[in-house]
Amino acid sequence: MENCLFCKIIKGEIPSFKVYEDEVAFAFLDIHPKADGHTLIIPKKHYRDLQDIDQDTLLHLIEIVKTKMKEYEEQLHCTGFTIAQNNGDVQEVKHFHLHLIPSYSEQESISSPEEIYQKLKK
């Protein structure tokens, strides 16, 4: 999609803090995180929402979520996760995406995406 924010991120037209990429999917840190490590996992092909995406792509994205969960437990020391997906009016960007939001037993403030990106690169 020509004006899709996420399509532009995938193409590299808009910078992002990429934490995963393969031929089907792209994952990056949310620039307005709800917690340290808040990640968006998206298909490279433009799908509008859950009604639009095919099952194989959806399952692939779920496997990426599971992999990132394990990595974040080890690297960020989080204690749980929220996985969210919005559709319709509550969907800010009309490109299917999953939110992976780590939680922490004690988190006083949220770090910037750049700070988390640096932690994840180690």
From 38, 95, 97, 99, active-site residue = 97
Strand partners, 99: 40, 84
The residue type found at 27 is: A
Query: What tokens appear for 37 in the block?
Result: 């490590």
SS3 assignment, position 102: strand
Q: State yes or no: is 97 an active-site residue.
A: yes
Query: What tokens appear for 34 in the block?
Result: 């709800």
Q: Annotated catalytic sites, by residue?
A: 97
